[in-house]
Amino acid sequence: MTNNAQATDAPSPPLQYLLTQTSILVLHQTGQGISGGYEISINGNGNATYVSNDPPQTTISTRSISNQSLTELINAFYQIHFFEFVDNYSVQKQVILQDNGTLATVARKILDTASHKLCIKIADYQKCITVIDNQPAVAAQLVKKIEALFPIGKSEVRP
């Protein structure tokens, strides 16, 4: 009998844990020289906070997330195979056709662009990736889903 599962030394999330031992973080970082950015944090107890750092004022919004909604968000991480992603998508690779008919792989590093850091903490395990230029697309969609929890206009502005 053959086991098709691949053994790996990479850390993985625990198989059982309390909901209160989880947290989700989205950190939007602007490109160099551009003000702004924000952070969304969701704790396993359902407390969610949005903090926008757009000088000269800081916008803060809080809300409560139901256990069911939080469980659905955590399931979304599993559904997109988040735990298998590389940590950073700042290098983009492509092939170019050379004059002699061969393909050459080239890589370019994306610098000074906006990005999202998407993290999930489950008990003692934590996984973060940096989403750049909406890649990977499924992670960018998950960021949008988390952002949608905080509709614009329902916040407290602090100078």
Per-residue pLDDT of the chain (159 residues), as tens digits, is 333 444 456 788 999 999 999 999 999 887 766 667 899 999 999 999 999 877 666 778 999 999 999 999 999 999 999 999 988 777 778 899 999 999 999 887 766 678 899 999 999 999 999 998 888 999 999 999 999 998 754 444 444
> Domain limits at 141?
20-153
Whether 3 is in a domain gets the answer no
Whether 117 is in a domain gets the answer yes
Residue with tokens 């989700």: 24
Whether 95 is in a domain gets the answer yes
pTM of the model: 0.78
SS3 62: strand
Structural domains counted in the chain: 1
Phi-psi region of 138 (alpha: psi -120 to 50; beta: other; left: phi over 0): alpha
Whether 49 is in a domain gets the answer yes
CATH of residue 48? 3.30.1560.10
Residue with tokens 């890649």: 135
Cis peptide upstream of residue 56 (ω within 30 degrees of 0)? yes
Q: Where are the alpha helices (DSSP H) in the chain?
A: 67-79, 137-147
Contacts of 82 (CB under 8 A, 6+ apart): 118, 120, 127, 129, 139, 142
